[in-house]
Structure 1
Amino acid sequence: MSKVRVGIIGCGGIANGKHMPSLAKVQDAEMVAFCDLVIERAEAAKQQYGNPDARVYSDYHELLRDGSIDVVHVCTPNDAHADISIAALEAGKHVLCEKPMAKTAEDARRMLEAARRTGKKLSIGYQNRYRADSRFLKEACRKDELGEIYFAKAHAIRRRAVPTWGVFLDEEKQGGGPLIDIGTHALDLALWMMDNYKPKAVLGRAFHKLSQNENSANAWGPWDPAKFTVEDSAFAMITMENGATIILESSWALNSLEVDEAKVTLCGTKAGADMKGGLRINGEENSRLYVKEIELSSGGVAFYEGTSEDPGELEARMWIDAVMNDKELVVKPEQALVVSEILEAVYESSRTGKAVYFD
């Protein structure tokens, strides 16, 4: 194929904030179809990002009937991820689905089965893997510079930044709040760095402590307590089959001055690392402790030749390259499924007050 022909399903916030502007910078891709339940949003997306012959739909089934479309980006609320992605895979399209993989782990498993059955590529939009600090730290882990990573923290803490638009506060549409929204990014980074996808047990708790406050200070204005049906914060301890332990923390509203989003702390037998105030490596050498701060603003080996350092753009470029040249995916659906399974276990543990054990 000379260019990968892309259809966008869901032309709301994440499509406009990441997917479409990133794809517009990829020379080997062109956006040829746009679908949204609100047809005006699809029309606006076509005007800004579409090629001259781009088509607009309000029904994604009609978009999928276009045999000339190679790739579909699924940018809808979480409850629609599975059905749309599966339909797209079965229609012969490769699929990049926005995170999380699905609202439920069972839906995520259905997506993985569809990808295997159809032989089409399926990836999930965990763009924080493409950040410069993430790439550097992953390479250090790959080279075993930290040794065995047996303890980690996955950070996704906002002090007061509750998204008040769209369906973020709707549990039925999203499946949860900050845990499934931003905690998913932090957990994905931790598992990826550790290269450990075998959970044993999860003990977690989701809280509804600040969500019912009236006229709260918030980055995007006060939320409506009557519409805040998801948790405002959630925390968990995850133990892996090999004994490694991960502490997962997430919040949209929390009385904390430690604010970190999509970051990890890693503790290994040879060294440790964290992303607080930049990327730092710590350890012991010649009977002395050291802290090494990594300069990421210049130099280094390009993750993908000729690109900027924007994670969304790198995600789009490497995804399109994987489709065009049948390359290995950066984010594999098998990995994203484990993230969804753990997130679901946290919610279940919170509901039952008991630990959830994996077979």
Structure 2
Amino acid sequence: MKAKLGAAVWGAGWVSGEHIKAYKNNPHCEVVAIGSRKAESARAKADEAGIECAIYTDYDELLADKRVDIVSICTPNDRHAIETIKAAEAGKHILIEKPVALNLEDLARMRDVVRRAGVKTVVSFVLRWNPLFECIKGLQKTIALGQIFYAEVDYWHPLGRWYKGFDWVTTKKAGGSMLLAAGCHAVDAIRYFMESEIVEVSAYTTNAGECEYPGTIVAALKFENGRIGKVSATWDVRSPYTFSIELLGENGTLRDNRLYSKALLPGQTKFLEIPTILPDSGDVTHHPFQPEIDHLVDCILTNTESHVNLEDAVKTHEVCIAADMSAEEGHPVRLPLIS
């Protein structure tokens, strides 16, 4: 294998700068290309990061660059599927921003192409590397919580025209839906913590904002192991960004970073606050992209599959689509939707 893996970032929006920075800081990588439909946007990202690299305005030309081993896809949501398929067919490893696709057909096709190509993928459910998430997974290896029998995860993100992507993320064509556009973080989190797959969804929506699709959704979830949960997501909220986590276990309870567990602490009389970093900001500079990209690079170098590869992420997206179907059709939807 060559001395360093060549990374290319396709898309020059807000999140791409964090990908570029993380690749630059990884000792096994170098950024060899940045691409965007506008050359000046890509060049501005290179200048911002202080790097010299190739600038592309044509995605096919970027994929043809033999120095490129990894592609980060940071474009609007409705372009992720075809760009992932092209990258896999070109033999590139891929970091895909969420959502990876907006419909079941694209999900299935992406999954099948990536399987055939044998490339490594990570889907950017970046909160899996948030310190609170890491604390929770650590607690789950102890007696503190026991098996989780009920969970709630809420993604409440106020959105306004101050956001540069407002005009596309609020459309059905490019944004998809509230869960697909952003609330998928909550769905991924509840799957991650429950350690069981979702088999049935019942959902309801309403709209109190400017989205083409309902900007608020709540979904009740039934898991394969018989446990239950709830996720909610909204752009419409008038409050600071909130990502709340409630886990009720047979041995204890977690409310964000507050733990109550007499199984672990027999003399405990009130919730104990765990000093950590909460997922309490929608600002991408607050998100742990460095460990995410370090993880992708490690998967490539060690030929191992990620816990959040495309195969896993398809299941999160299926739940989002099932919830949208349930809300629109007025009945529970069973999973899986893709064979």
Specify if TM > 0.5: yes
Alignment deviations for residues 157-204 of structure 1 (CA, whole Å, 9 cap, x no partner): 23x433642221121012123x223311122111112211x2221111
Unaligned segments of structure 2, at least 5 residues: 278-285
**2:221 corresponds to which residue?**
238
Residue in structure 2 matched with residue 161 of structure 1 by the alignment: 159
1:260 and 2:242 aligned: yes
Q: How far did 1:147 drift?
A: 1.4
| Match status 1:11 vs 2:2 | no
TM-score, normalised via structure 2 length: 0.88
- Which residues of structure 1 form unaligned runs of 5+? 212-224, 298-308
- CA offset at residue 78 of structure 1? 1.2
Residue 26 and residue 339 in structure 1: after superposition, are their counterparts in 2 closer, same or farther (change >3 A)?
same
CA distance 1:162–1:202, change in 2 (3 Å)? farther
Shift of residue 153, structure 1, vs aligned partner: 0.3
Rounded Cα–Cα distance in structure 2 between residues aligned with 1:310 and 1:341? 24
Q: Match of 1:292, as an amino acid? A: L
Contact 1:31 1:50 in 2 (8 A): no
Please tell me the residue identity of whatever aligns with 1:331. Answer: V
Partner of 1:339: 316
Give the alignment's Cα RMSD to 1 decimal: 2.2
**Other-structure match for 2:74:** 75
Aligned length: 322
Matched residue SS, 1:342: helix
Aligned match of 2:83: 84
Once the two structures are TM-superposed, the CA of residue 65 in structure 1 deviates from its matched residue by 1.1
* CA distance, structure 2, for counterparts of residue 47 and residue 259 of structure 1: 31
Match of 2:213, SS state, is: coil
In the TM superposition, what whole-angstrom CA distance separates every residue of 1:250-305 from its partner, at most 9, and x where no partner exists? 111136x69622x4211111112121xxx1111335586542221237xxxxxxxx
Instruction: Kindly provide the amino acid, as one letter, of the partner of residue 203 in structure 2.
Output: G
Letter matched to residue 75 of structure 2: T
What one-letter code is carried by the residue in structure 2 that aligns with 1:234?
I
Q: Are 2:2 and 1:26 aligned? A: no
**2: distance between equivalents of 1:51 and 1:110?**
35
Please list the CA deviations of residues 125-147 of structure 1 after superposition, one character each: whole Å capped at 9, or x if unmatched.
11111111110111211345321
CA distance in 1, matches of 2:89, 2:212: 34
Q: Quote the residue 2:151 is aligned against.
A: 152
- Aligned residues: percent identity? 26
Give the whole-Å Cα distance in 2 for the aligned partners of 1:243 and 1:35. 46
Q: Please give the secondary structure, in 2, of the residue aligned with 1:173.
A: coil
Map 1:1-359 onto structure 2 (within 5 A). Answer: 1-16=2-17, 18-49=18-49, 51-52=51-52, 54-143=53-142, 145-158=144-157, 160-162=158-160, 164-166=163-165, 167-177=168-178, 179-196=179-196, 198-208=197-207, 210-211=208-209, 225=210, 228-254=211-237, 260-261=242-243, 263-275=244-256, 279-285=257-263, 286=266, 289-296=269-276, 311-358=288-335
